[in-house]
Amino acid sequence: MYQGKCLCGEVKITIKGEISDIIHCHCSLCRKNSGTAFATNGFINAADFEIVSGKNSLSIFSFKPGRNRHFCSHCGSPVYSSNEQDPQRYRIRLGILDTDISERPISHNFVSSKANWEDLDAQLPRYDAFEPGR
């Protein structure tokens, strides 16, 4: 079972099944919605998803008819996306999860739309906290 919550902790979720088709999406829509270079998304069965608390704090944004992005109205964190043409599955942003996952991403998608400053092959230094000097 996976557990997660939004940034402010108002909306808490659990997922009782597996996460499938995990991708790093570089399309301009995911970049705008996440505010970063890409979004890591995966699919879950709607029946395996539960909003434990904060359901009344969820707001919905429909970018296209039938495609809904559910987010916390307090902190703006994306919680999940639903699609009326595929009601059995939800898409989640893996960053909302607090528990480790066993599944792994399968691909980088829409790389031709990636941010021009994103270098997928960069060998940048890695730190456990802020970079030195900050």
State pLDDT tens for residues 7-17.
999 999 999 99
pLDDT digits (tens, 9 = 90+) for 54-85: 999 999 999 889 999 999 999 999 999 999 99
> Is the pLDDT reported for residue 133 higher than 90?
no
**Higher local confidence (pLDDT), 112 or 19:** 19
How many C-alpha atoms does 4 have within 13 Å on its Cβ side?
Answer: 20
Strand pairing class (89-93; 78-83): antiparallel
Topology, domain 2-112: 2.170.150
In the chain, where the domains are located: 2-112
Cα separations in angstroms, 22 against 39, 106, 108: 10, 6, 9
pTM for the whole structure:
0.88
Residue 116: both structure tokens together: 């021009």
